Amino acid sequence: MKESSIASCYMSPSLGTEQFIPDHCFMYLVSGSMLVYDGHKEYKIQSGDYGIGRRNHLAKYIKQPEDGAFKKIFILFQQDFLKTFKDTYGFRAEGSKTVGAIIPLAKDRLVKNFMESIIPYFNEDGVMEEQFLDIKRTELLLVLLKVNPELANVFFDFTSPEKINLEEFMNRNYRFNVSIERFAYLTGRSLSAFKRDFEKIFHTTPRHWLVQKRLEEAYHLIDKNGKKPSEIYLDLGFENFSHFSFAFKKLFGHPPTQLIGRRKIHEESKKDEA
């Protein structure tokens, strides 16, 4: 089943490759389990769990099928929809802002019953029919705000990212495979200001620093932790293995597979010495 990139409400066995969350989203895991990493911590999500992914944040997803099955319900709350909802029902953001990309929500009977009730509204492609979309999204949002009133501070905060500590942000998020323009936006800067501030801090260009930082981490994971190159290249922000292998060899003078051979020889010599 192909996952729609524009559908606002769908049920699907797949996950998108985009690691940037452009709009607030609600996700309910129907079957299987998954790991979600947001740059701060890792979340283990089981069947029946649900929560909010916050807009303007980064997150990686690793799905773990259960008996070959993995299915989620994914519902987007775009800004225009939320602004109309806010004006209609009189909600507003007040109080402190929530930190973090992922907001796990405690299980509640109202939410569970609602999620079970919407399943018949998905068509055979796993997308909710257009005539039901806003009605069901509105109903879900009312349920979520009744159970978790503090979510108003998340949903109805329409501000753009503020200028933050660039060095801290990049050292925490360099593994995410997003564009330089996206990094600039998330740190509250224009692209030109981002590049200027970046070179003042790191004394090189963003692209060069990202590649070197990811490759140095790859070297450590292979050499010290015994990881296989094929297991780590995607997690480190490389789109394909050939590009990763080429860049690794260019920096270190040998392919990553050769490093595995060196590690095995070193381990065998240590055994002989013992």
Q: What is the pLDDT of residue 5?
A: 38
Query: Which tens digits make up the pLDDT trace of 214-234?
Result: 999 999 999 988 899 999 999
Residue 207, pLDDT > 80, answer: yes
- CA–CA gap between residue 274 and residue 255 (Å, rounded): 30
Query: Which tens digits make up the pLDDT trace of 161-195?
Result: 999 999 999 999 999 999 999 999 999 999 999 99
- Please state, as a whole number, how many other Cβ atoms lie within 10 Å of the Cβ of residue 50: 22
Q: What is the pLDDT of residue 265?
A: 54
- CA–CA gap between residue 41 and residue 188 (Å, rounded): 22
Query: If pLDDT is split at 50, 70 and 90, which confidence band does 247 have?
Result: very high
- CA–CA gap between residue 73 and residue 67 (Å, rounded): 19
Q: What is the pLDDT of residue 170?
A: 97
- CA–CA gap between residue 41 and residue 272 (Å, rounded): 40
Which letter, b or e, does each residue of 130-159 get, where b requires 16 or more Cβ atoms within 10 Å of its Cβ? Answer: eeebeebbeebbebbbeebeebbebbbbee
Domains along the chain with CATH numbers:
9-155 (2.60.120.280), 166-273 (1.10.10.60)
Q: What is the pLDDT of residue 270?
A: 56
Q: What is the pLDDT of residue 32?
A: 93
Which of 114, 110, 115, 94 has the alpha carbon at shortest distance from 47? 115
Mean pLDDT taken over the chain: 90
pTM of the model: 0.84
Q: Which residue has the higher pLDDT, 3 or 86?
A: 86
